[in-house]
Amino acid sequence: MNWVELTGYIAASLTTLSFVPQAWLVISTRRTGGISLLMYSLFTSGIALWFIYGLAVESMPMIIANAVTLALAGAILVIAARERWQRRGTFRARPPGEPLPADLNPDIIRENRPTR
């Protein structure tokens, strides 16, 4: 392995690992209020194309990094889309400035305290 390949593996590892905290948070909490479906749709499509390109040029760092990133970004996209559809019956975003009612907002943490 030469320094160019090593640089590719390091860069691929760092950029791929940057998605782990967001994916972990979304998968474990199902809280997706601040996620743009349009952004994640475009990003996931781009990553899929980079993966295909990596296969075409036989670049292992590109193949591995984009396969893992595609899985993480795809999971975030699917969870966000499903949550939005179940909550509002549409994939469209709310108009700017229109608040989500508290009983529908998954980002508001509710404590289950017994009433006194």
Q: Angle 72-18-76 (CA atoms, 0-180°, nearest 5)?
A: 25
pLDDT of residue 57: 96
pLDDT of residue 10: 92
Strands (E), 6-93: none
Query: For the stretch 59-73, what's the b/e string if a residue is b when 16 or more beta carbons lie within 10 angstroms of its beta carbon?
Result: bebbbbbbbbbbebb
Task: Break the chain into its structural domains and give their ranges.
Answer: 33-88
pTM score:
0.69
pLDDT in tens, 48-100: 999 999 999 998 888 999 999 999 999 999 998 888 887 766 666 666 666 66
Query: Which fold is adopted by the domain 33-88?
Result: Monooxygenase (1.20.1280)
Lowest mean pLDDT among 13-22, 33-42, 74-83, 95-104: 95-104
